[in-house]
Amino acid sequence: MRDLLKKVFTNVEIKDEDGKVLLNQSNLFVESGRGLIRDILKGDVTLDVTKFVLEFGDSSQVPAEADVDIVTPFNPVISQDLPTKTAVSTTEIDFAFAYTSGAGVTFKEMGLFYRPAGAPSDGGVPPRADSGVLLARLKTTYTSITIGAAKTVTITWKIIF
């Protein structure tokens, strides 16, 4: 199974309000994410598809398979509304997050988390104390990505088997 999941890859695409691609980059599906899939297949975890969240951070550290969190998460947490999940093909699922920046944000890393515990029923952001399970981590190939004040972007995290 580990060999199978090593063939799984993830890709992140960020588009602005006009559909212009700001970032299209592959990233690392980490061991903890593969462990979550193992536990789901074993029946140890019942998946709640409303519990996926995205977080931004400020680290330039290159992702590693052993990562269990993003390195420098923003405090307070900058996270997204619940994603729209789409099965694009027989081998791909996309998690699309709409993000409006408010005062603007500059980030260097992102993490896709499964966060079943502590998630409020109103769909709000779970507390940072429960980071959940990191599935994939991205460090941008750019110095940083800036989303201007009051701008909305779509962040699509693709998992392809």
Which among 121, 120, 124, 135 has a CA at the least distance from the CA of 45? Answer: 135
pLDDT reading at 124 higher than 50: yes
Give 2 or 113, the one with higher predicted confidence. 113
Q: Stretch 75-84: mean pLDDT, rounded?
A: 64
Q: What is the pLDDT of residue 142?
A: 86
pLDDT reading at 80 higher than 70: no
- % helix / strand / coil in the chain, to the nearest 5? 10, 40, 50
Measured distance CA(113)–CA(111) in Å, rounded: 6
pLDDT reading at 44 higher than 60: yes
> Token digits for 23?
């970032």
Q: Stretch 109-137: mean pLDDT, rounded?
A: 71
**Contact (Cβ atoms closer than 8 angstroms) between residue 105 and residue 146:** yes
| For the chain, counts of helices (H) and of strands (E) | 2, 10
Q: What is the pLDDT of residue 97?
A: 84
**Contact (Cβ atoms closer than 8 angstroms) between residue 138 and residue 16:** no
Q: What is the pLDDT of residue 7?
A: 55
The mean pLDDT of the chain is: 81
Q: What region does 43 belong to: left with phi over 0, alpha with psi -120 to 50, or beta?
A: left
Sheet holding 52-57, edge to edge: 52-57, 109-114, 133-139, 21-29, 9-15, 152-160, 92-100, 84-89
Query: Under DSSP, is residue 35 helix (H, G, I), strand (E, B) or coil?
Result: helix
Q: What is the pLDDT of residue 64?
A: 93
Q: Stretch 1-10: mean pLDDT, rounded?
A: 56
pLDDT reading at 73 higher than 70: yes
Q: Please report, as a single letter, which amino acid is at residue 79.
A: S
